[in-house]
Amino acid sequence: MFYLIGIGLKPKQMTLEALETLKGCDQVFLEGYTSEYAQGLLKELEAMICKKFKLLGREGVEQEFESALLSAKKNNIALMIFGNALTATTHLQVLLDAKENGIKYKVIPGISITNTIAETGLDEYKFGRIVTLCYHTTNFEPDSFYEQIKENQKIGLHTLALLDIKKDEEPQRMMNCREAINLLEKIANKKGEEMNWQFVGLIGMSSEKQKILVGKEAIFEAIEVDELFPQSLIVLGKTNEKEKEALEKLH
């Protein structure tokens, strides 16, 4: 059996189902390039599941995991994912590969950033399509996420923006909220548009030191070089009175 398991944003967020399953597996892997813990160390995870696991980068999951997956015909194999199990399309492909090879599988969900947005006081029902903001590099400057935010804005919906993570590069980089806002402003300027958006920064959510910051100035002032990660950014749509009160009084 193959298990695709979401392990949450910190070790203690793992469900009992996930923990019991991992303890019973013959071999365990951790996908380590799409995110990381907001709090806690991998050695804590290892102690919880009572076994060592192999950490995989993007190439490991996309190219080298095939033999481990095939062994799930006779053994119990698990691939752990930070947050929820099926947020990234790479993980869906692993399930498709399992199905194609006649391998039985089970998905065990975990807590992700999408489960924390209501703590801002914003209505979960008023969020539009989620976007991912990507670093701009030489000859690669995508802006489709900017256009999608504009579409959400047109109908008054909030946008959850996930921020780029480069764990397979040296040096490793994780985009922070200030970089994200600067990137959006750069795109707006290039298009000759004025960007009057309001923001909420989600900093190290689920950690003991998590921060929810409202307003561009507050975000810029608070973000330091050694700030908490992962970070996400909410671009506010049209807020009702209760949402405005929550943003003003809670954060």
Q: What angle do CA 123, 128, 129 make, to 5 degrees?
A: 140
pLDDT band at 13 (very low <50, low <70, confident <90, very high): very high
- Residue 58 above 90 pLDDT? no
pLDDT exceeding 90 applies to what percent of the chain? 80
What does the alpha-carbon distance between residue 182 and residue 215 come to, in Å, rounded to a whole number?
A: 14
Model pTM above 0.75: yes
What does the alpha-carbon distance between residue 134 and residue 144 come to, in Å, rounded to a whole number?
A: 10
What does the alpha-carbon distance between residue 204 and residue 85 come to, in Å, rounded to a whole number?
A: 19
pLDDT at 224: 64
What does the alpha-carbon distance between residue 201 and residue 251 come to, in Å, rounded to a whole number?
A: 10
Which residues lie across from 29 on neighbouring strands?
54, 79
Q: Which domains does the chain have, with CATH numbers?
A: 2-111 (3.40.1010.10), 114-250 (3.30.950.10)
pLDDT band at 169 (very low <50, low <70, confident <90, very high): confident
**H or E segment to which residue 105 belongs:** strand 105-108
Is residue 225 within 8 A of residue 171, CB to CB? The reply is: no
